[in-house]
Amino acid sequence: QFLRVTKQYLPHVARLCLISTFLEDGIRMWIQWSEQRDYIDGTWNCGYFLASIFVFLNLFGQLSGCILVLSRNFVQYACFGLFGIIALQTIAYSILWDLKFLMR
C-alpha cells in the first residue's frame, strides 16, 4: 500500500536526487557571485566582465538544466547541457589536474 501511495512521487524524488548537486552549485554561485567571479578572474586573469559572463553561464546553465529535468521538458538536451557545464568547470577550475577530486 505504501508503494501504491508513493508511486506517483518517486520519479520526481529520483530526478531531484540526480540533479541535487547541480541545483546546490547553481544556488551557491548565485549567493557567492563575487567570490566566484574573483576566483575566475584571479585564476585566468580575464577581467571582471569575462569572469562575470563565465559565472553567469554556469549559474544559468545549471539552474535551467535542473528546471528542465524536473519539469520533464527537453530532458536529453538538459542532460547534455549539464554535462557541458561539468566539462567547462573541469577546465576552468583546474579540476582536470586534481586526480583525487576528479575521481571522487
For residues 14, 16, 17, 23, the Cα torsion angle rounded to the nearest 10 degrees is: 160
Which residues span the domain enclosing 51? 1-103
Between CA 67 and CA 7 the distance in angstroms is: 21
pLDDT in tens, 27-82: 999 999 999 999 999 989 999 999 999 999 999 999 999 999 999 999 999 999 99
> Which residues, other chains included, contact 82 with Cβ-Cβ below 8 Å and sequence gap of 6+?
19, 22, 61, 62, 65, 66, 69
Number of domains in the chain: 1
The residue among 55, 30, 56 whose CA lies nearest residue 41 is: 55
pLDDT higher than 80, residue 98: no
Between CA 61 and CA 57 the distance in angstroms is: 6
Which residue carries 524524488 as its cell?
13
Indicate the pTM of the whole model. Answer: 0.82
